[in-house]
Homo-oligomer: A and B are copies of this chain.
C-alpha cells in the first residue's frame, strides 16, 4: 500500500517536486527551513455537511482512511454583519468571520484537527508543537479527543487562559525560558530527536491546508457578492497565506488581503514595504501575544499571497489594538483576543489612508477568543450595597 497523501508537494524556492509522505518537511536543497513546501491539489466541489474536513475533503491532504476525530468536531464558523461597527469605521459593509467559535476558541483548531488526522494515519502516538498559545491549546484539545499525546513548547509568559487549556487537556508542556522563536527551534529539534509528529505549520506543508478551509468557507459565504478586502493578523505568516489560498481555490479571487502585524512585531510589514521576500528578524514586543513573532517562518507564502491579491500589509500599535478590541466588543458583540482585533485597527487606518473606500465590503477574521487573555481588558465596575438607592446613584452617575 502507498502511504502517500493525494496531493503534490513543490518547493517554494526551487519548485522541486517531493513525495507526499505524511511526515514531509522542507526541501533539503536550501539552508535551514527556507525550502518550505507548497501543497498543490486538484479539488472537486464541496461536499455536504458542515465539518470543513469533510466538506472540503478533495481540497485537503487527507488519506482515504476513516477519520479519527468525529464529524462535527469542527464546524463552519459564521460570517456575521456588523453594521454599527461598519458605520463607525466608515466602510460600506463589515462582516465578521468569527473563528472564536471553534472547539478551543481559535482558527488554529482547523490545522490541529488536520494534524491529528495525519499523525494517526502515520502511526504516530505523539505530536509536537511550538506555539504562542493557540496552536498549542488547539493541538492539545484535538489530541485529547483522539487519544494522542500532545508535546507542547511555549515561551515563559504565555497567558494564563492558554496554559489552563493545556492543563485541562492533559498536554505534556514545557515552558521554555526564551522567546517564541527559541521555543520554536527547540521543538523542531525535539520532534526530530524523539520521533514525534511535527505540527509546526511553517515546516509541515500540510498544516496550512487546514487553515485554508477558513478561506474556502468564506468563498461560499460570500456568494452573494465578493468582499473588497479581507483583513487578518499575521504572525508566522501561515494564516493569511492559507486564507488567500482558500479564497482562490474557492473561486473567490476578487478580495484583496489586508495583512496586519503589531508595530512591535512587524518584520513582514517591513519586507513588504521594501519589496523584499527576505525578512529582518526583530525582537518582538506587543500586547498581541498570538502574533508576537520576531522571526516569522512563513513570510514567503504570506508576502506572495498578499501581493497576488493586490493587497497590503500594515502595522498598528498596541494602543490601537486595544482600542480595536473595545470597538469589536462594544459595537459588534465579539470578544476577540488582542491579535484577533488588530485587523479592525488596520481597517480604520486603511480607510483613513483612502486605501479602503467608503462603500467597500470588508471581511475581518477574528482568529481567537478574548477569553484566552482576559487580562487585556480591565473591569473597573462599581461595587455597591444591595439597595435600590445604590443602584440609583450608579445609574445617575
Contact = CB atoms under 8 A, between A and B. Distances in A.
27 contacts: A70-B80, A75-B78, A98-B103, A141-B333, A141-B335, A142-B333, A145-B333, A161-B371, A161-B374, A163-B381, A164-B371, A165-B370, A167-B329, A167-B378, A167-B381, A169-B329, A169-B330, A169-B333, A169-B335, A170-B330, A172-B394, A173-B381, A174-B381, A174-B384, A189-B388, A193-B388, A194-B395
Interface in A158-202: 160-161, 163-170, 172-178, 182-183, 185-186, 189-190, 193-194
Contacts of A379: 160, 163-164, 166-167, 173
Contacts of A286: none
A163 to B, nearest CB: 4
Contact of A382 (B82, B161, B175, B383): B175
Given A164-B379, A391-B190, A80 B73 contact: yes
Q: Which of A169, A170, A326, A387 has the most CB of B within 10 A?
A: A169
A63 interface: no
Interface in A98-129: 98, 101-105
A331 B144 contact: yes
Contacts of A371: 105, 161, 164-165, 369, 371-372
A263 interface: no
Q: Which 8 residue pairs of A and B lie closest in terms of their CB atoms, listed nearest first?
A: A145-B333, A164-B374, A170-B330, A168-B329, A144-B333, A72-B78, A371-B371, A167-B379
A225 interface: no
Given A84-B147, A144-B332, A161-B374, 7 more contacts: A73-B78, A80-B145, A167-B377, A169-B329, A169-B330, A174-B391, A189-B391
Given A186-B391, A329-B144, A177 B383 contact: yes
A357 interface: no
Contacts of A102: 101
Given A168-B325, A379-B163, A386-B183, A332 B101 contact: no
A224 interface: no
Contacts of A335: 104, 141, 164-165, 168-169
A328 to B, nearest CB: 8
Contacts of A248: none
A385 interface: yes
A355 interface: no
Contacts of A146: 333
A371 B333 CA distance: 18
A102 to B, nearest CB: 8
Interface string A27-56: 000000000000000000000001000000
